[in-house]
Amino acid sequence: GQNIDQPTEMTATEGAIVQINCTYQTSGFNGLFWYQQHAGEAPTFLSYNVLDGLEEKGRFSSFLSRSKGYSYLLLKELQMKDSASYLCAVMDSNYQLIWGAGTKLIIKP
Amino acid sequence: GAVVSQHPSRVICKSGTSVKIECRSLDFQATTMFWYRQFPKQSLMLMATSNEGSKATYEQGVEKDKFLINHASLTLSTLTVTSAHPEDSSFYICSARDLSREGYNEQFFGPGTRLTVL
């Protein structure tokens, strides 16, 4: 079966760095996405990785290792507004998104 | 660019009534749209894939006669929840792919519709 694993919840301090991991097993691979979702709102796109390596975009970076079925989202200089759920999703061979359950990130002052 | 809108954003209805939710791609054509449902503190669950001009493809366990999907144009898909019951109360989110962007697989999400069935 297809499976996406990510931690349920993480806590970090304002101004610090946090890494959210995601491992996956899917039928085929057409890219891995990270989305941010605030409570009661729809997800918003953060990053897309289809090749191995690190993609940096401002305070957020995303890493992918296809051979290991592994990705992480790195958030630097954490701000209170970064408190949200972070969803890892993999696009399979049928171009369908397979979603992880999301990681709730709690930022403390 | 790549904006998706949903209407209504919030709806409260009585049990047994039907509710229609619209999903529009505002600045691009979307041959494929996706309908998701999300219960509190859970991840997105794909309900169906909506293809313009053809029947929707429903995920296992989703009743196609209860959740009617119509994708009549390249910019509009509708989801109708028929004979709604309290257990249908959820956050319904649509997304669309911009296939004009070759090799770009991002799905653009609408803002979601909060359905509450009394």
Of B44, B111, B114, the CB nearest to A99: B44
Query: Nearest-CA residue of chain B relative to A41?
Result: B111
Is A101 in contact with B91 (Cβ distance < 8 A)?
no
Which string of DSSP letters, residue by residue, matches chain A? --EEE--SEEEEETTS-EEEEEEEE-SS-S-EEEEEE-TTS--EEEEEE-SSEEEEETTEEEEEETTTTEEEEEE-S--GGG-EEEEEEEE-TTSPEEEP--EEEEEE-
Q: What does the alpha-carbon distance between residue B21 and residue B8 come to, in Å, rounded to a whole number? A: 6
> A108: Cβ–Cβ under 8 A, 6 or more apart, which residues?
A11, A12, A13, A14
Is A43 in contact with B44 (Cβ distance < 8 A)?
yes
Query: Residue B45: its chain A contacts at CB < 8 A?
Result: 99
Q: What does the alpha-carbon distance between residue A27 and residue A69 come to, in Å, rounded to a whole number? A: 12
| Cα B86 from chain centroid (whole Å) | 18
* Rounded mean pLDDT, A3-13: 96
Q: Give the tokens for residue B58.
A: 């429903």
Measured from the Cβ of residue B5, the count of other Cβ atoms closer than 10 Å reads 14
Q: What is the pLDDT of residues A26-51, one digit of tens each?
A: 989 989 999 999 988 889 889 999 99
Q: Give the tokens for residue A34.
A: 């990270």
φ, ψ of residue A59 to 5 degrees: the values are -80, -10
Query: For position B106, what pLDDT does the model report?
Result: 75
Given a cut of 70, is residue B1 above it in pLDDT? no
Q: What is the pLDDT of residues B73-110, one digit of tens each?
A: 889 999 999 999 999 999 999 999 876 765 566 788 99
Q: What does the alpha-carbon distance between residue B40 and residue B20 come to, in Å, rounded to a whole number? A: 21
Q: What does the alpha-carbon distance between residue A36 and residue A102 come to, in Å, rounded to a whole number? A: 9
pLDDT category, A20, cuts 50, 70, 90?
very high
Portion 53-82 of B in contact with A at CB < 8 A: none
